Amino acid sequence: MKKNPKLFLTIFFFGTAYALQYALPFIQYVLYNPLVATLDVTNAQLGVLIAIFGIGNIVGAPIGGWFADRFSYKTIYIISMFGTSALSFLFAFNLNYQFAVYIWIGLAVSALFAFYPSHIKAVRMLGDEESQGKIFGLSESASGIGSVIVNSLALFLFGRAATEALGLQAAIIGYGVASLLVGIVLYFLMESPAENENVDEDAEERIGLKDYWIVLKFPGTWLAGMAIFVTYTLYTTLTYFTPYFTDVLGVTVAFSGGLAIVRTYLLRFVGAPIGGYIGDRIHSVTKVLGISFLASAIIILAFLGLPATTSTTIIIILTLLISTFTFMARGNMFAVPAEVKSPTKYAAMTAGITCAIGFAPDLFQFTMYGSWLDNYGNDGYRYIFIYAVVILVVGIINSILTLMYKKHQAKQEIISK
């Protein structure tokens, strides 16, 4: 891993770019009520927009991965930033639901088809195979910092406007301007593929659609995709801790909200780099994932057993622990392809396919969790947490299988020599 100011500056802007690409598609996380009121839609209609974006994971990302491997991932990366910027401006001046459907389709193209595979490949190319944990850990931390900056800007612009509609428009324009500026900065910071010593200069000539079968048949692709699936399930489940604390454990809304901020942002800065550092130190990001999954499962089971009279100190300690393990996992999940020796020239295709597998929970999980809470009330949290524990057990098994596969690869290398 090269240690120089330009590297860390590049990682920071990569993280900010990642935050910006997902700021508008998930704007309801920050400005939910103003979005519903301005677009004059139901909660279900707003959910359709997320479903559209989720479909982009399945359809767009794998195809985008082929393009990012076949052509210049830098060019595709920059175009995606400018594309998201343009879509932001278009939506800001056409705030209606019918138009939003087309905008979200466009966002699926720019953020998932074009950006995501190029982003994973660009980050991977910043370091050698022995430093992937640190690289992706720092990138995840930078994404957290970028999210704070981007969403703080949006809230500032929203608060300065006279009406909710104008505030929403101002926030979206802010996203568009920021995407444009970050895209320009990264145009100068990013190395072109031919300039990077880790890139095979003839790879573009050899990459073809037939290579999809190579990536799909590679066991490491599916092991990596499942690692992301489990980590993302854990990450999204954490959002339900906030209402769980107030509805079941009886803490105040202010306390639960404050803990959510610490859990979502502060520990992201700490946990992801630590997880990546440990993964590189022990030469296995998969071991960090397995340990994180095991610890998280135990903590969730502990939460299920807590009575309503539980002290806030215990709630804080358990929350800090599970959040740390969650972000340790997030700091390593994108580095699994490197650990299982997925070929660098297929990095973007692999990222696209693992994205389709790993972020599949967007298609069903929020709807499933919501239906459990609607139908069973507070008992729905029990179903949510039990489901999460089952998925974490699958993740532990997946980690064991990954380590076994890694050992098999090592034996094959010795035999081939």
Cα 49 to Cα 322: distance, rounded to the nearest angstrom: 30
Contact 85, 181 (CB under 8 A): no
d(CA 205, CA 127): 24
Given a contact cutoff of 8 angstroms between Cβ atoms, the answer to whether 213 and 47 are in contact is no
d(CA 242, CA 264): 11
Query: Which residue in this structure is represented by tokens 């800007």?
Result: 153
Burial class of 258 by CB neighbour count within 10 A (0 to 12, 13 to 18, 19+): exposed
For 268, phi then psi, to 5°, come to -65, -40
Q: What is the SS3 string spanning 19-65?
A: HHHHHCCCCHHHHHHHHHHHHCCCHHHHHHHHHHHHHHHHHHHHHHH
Please say whether the dihedral angle defined by the alpha carbons of residues 381, 294, 253 and 172, taken in this order, is positive or negative: negative
Contacts of 252 (CB under 8 A, 6+ apart): 246
Question: DSSP for 115-126?
Answer: IHHHHHHHHHTT
- E-strand ranges in 155-272 read none
294, 99 Cβ separation under 8 angstroms? no
Half-sphere exposure (CA, 13 Å, Cβ side) for 56?
A: 26
Q: E strand or H helix at 381, and its extent?
A: helix 379-416
Q: Are 325 and 269 within 8 A, CB to CB?
A: no
Tell me the whole-structure pTM to 2 decimals: 0.75
d(CA 59, CA 81): 20
CA–CA distance, 351 with 116 (Å, rounded to integer): 8
Per-residue pLDDT of the chain (417 residues; tens, 9 = 90+): 555 778 889 989 998 999 899 889 888 777 767 888 899 887 667 777 877 887 877 777 777 777 777 788 899 999 999 999 999 999 999 999 999 999 999 999 998 888 888 888 888 888 776 677 778 778 878 887 888 888 888 888 988 888 888 999 999 999 999 999 999 999 999 887 754 444 444 444 555 667 778 888 889 999 999 999 999 999 889 878 877 888 888 877 667 666 766 777 677 777 778 887 888 788 888 999 999 999 999 999 998 888 877 788 888 888 889 989 998 998 888 888 888 888 877 877 888 888 889 988 877 887 788 888 888 888 888 999 999 999 999 999 999 999 999 888 877 766 655
Residue 209 is predicted with a pLDDT of 66
Rounded Cα gap, residues 49 and 44, in angstroms: 9
Q: In the prediction, which pLDDT does 197 show?
A: 41
Kindly state the tokens that stand for 412.
């094959």
Residues sharing a CB contact under 8 Å with residue 317, sequence separation 6 or more, in sequence order: none
**What is d(CA 110, CA 183) in angstroms, rounded to the nearest whole number?**
13
Structure tokens at 265: 């942002």
Q: Burial of 148 by CB count in 10 Å (0-12 exposed, 13-18 middle, 19+ buried)?
A: middle
Measure the N-to-C terminal CA separation of the chain; round to a whole number of Å.
28
Residues 27 and 21: their CA atoms lie apart, in Å, by 11
Predicted pLDDT of residue 297: 96
Contacts of 404 (CB under 8 A, 6+ apart): none
Residue 86 exposed, middle or buried by CB count within 10 Å (0-12, 13-18, 19+): middle
Q: What is the CA radius of gyration of the chain?
A: 21
Q: What's the pLDDT at 199?
A: 45
Cβ atoms of residues 280 and 130 within 8 Å: yes
pLDDT value at position 129?
Answer: 66
